[in-house]
Amino acid sequence: MALKRIMPCLLYDGVGLVKTVKFKNPSYIGDPINAIKIYNEKEVDELILIDINASKQKRKPNFDKIADMASEAFMPFAYGGGVKTFDDFATLYKIGIEKVVVNALIQENPEVIKKVVAHYGAQAVVACIDFKKPLFGAKAPYSYIGHKIKQDLSEYARYLANDLGVGELMLYSVDNDGTWEGFDNEIIKRLIHEVEVPVIACGGCGNIDHLKTVLYDVNANAAAIGSMAVYSKKGMGVLINFPSRESVIKE
């Protein structure tokens, strides 16, 4: 059985780490550098850091702070938030970021993404699809400002993988975010069959069984965990946490 990747997905508000529930009500978690040091000790596979306010506040990445974080990380480090130009990508790669996660830029200027893929390779770019159930109709992809994207989920996933040429898709369930109720396995399984690039499941993980199901039954290539990586248990205090590799391998 092939090993699957498991990674903390840390949300950053420009000051410190936060955790949201359904993308709302961010709660302060702590300092990102301290968290990264602990994840080094726990030998996590990869680390994702998303600045959730950068695009909304129309500010560029804080390259100095990101460089400090990257210098502490002993694992592959992905960053997303506020990345707008080819030079932004180039700077992030130069300071130690292996992968850049794009979301808002897909709607704003997809040609920049194509240029980055052509120059640095598909493996250097991850496209994040935020999806949720609207009041009426099927689950759909949404932009960072809450607007429904015109394509349906399958069309959008194919567009990102085939037309933009990104190396991975990160499927982030807004409805499941911070709920501890499990991944949206139905959507993840469907989209895995739509694309030939690796898929990262994100949003809702609450226990080891959720990880085993999404990685081995649904067959996602990787799982990103939020609440489970920063809280001891649901409703309990902050405790930078990570499951052991042995506990997640499915026999």
Asked about 130 being catalytic, the answer comes back as yes
For β-strands 17-21 and 5-12, DSSP reports them as: antiparallel
Q: Minimal CA–CA distance to 183: which of 227, 152, 145? A: 227
* Options 45, 64, 87, 130, the catalytic residue: 130
- Would strands 125-132 and 99-102 be described as parallel, antiparallel, or unpaired? parallel
Instruction: Write the DSSP string, the chain.
Output: ----EEEEEEEE-SSSEEEEETTEEEEEEE-HHHHHHHHHHTT-S-EEEEESSTTTTT----HHHHHHHHHH--S-EEEESS--SHHHHHHHHHTT-SEEEESHHHHH-HHHHHHHHHHH-GGGEEEEEEEE--SSSS-EEE-TTSPBPSS-HHHHHHIIIIII--SEEEEEETTTTTS-S---HHHHHHHHTT-SS-EEEES---SHHHHHIIIIIS--SEEEESHHHHBSSTTS-B------HHHH---
Q: Any idea which residues carry the catalytic annotation?
A: 130
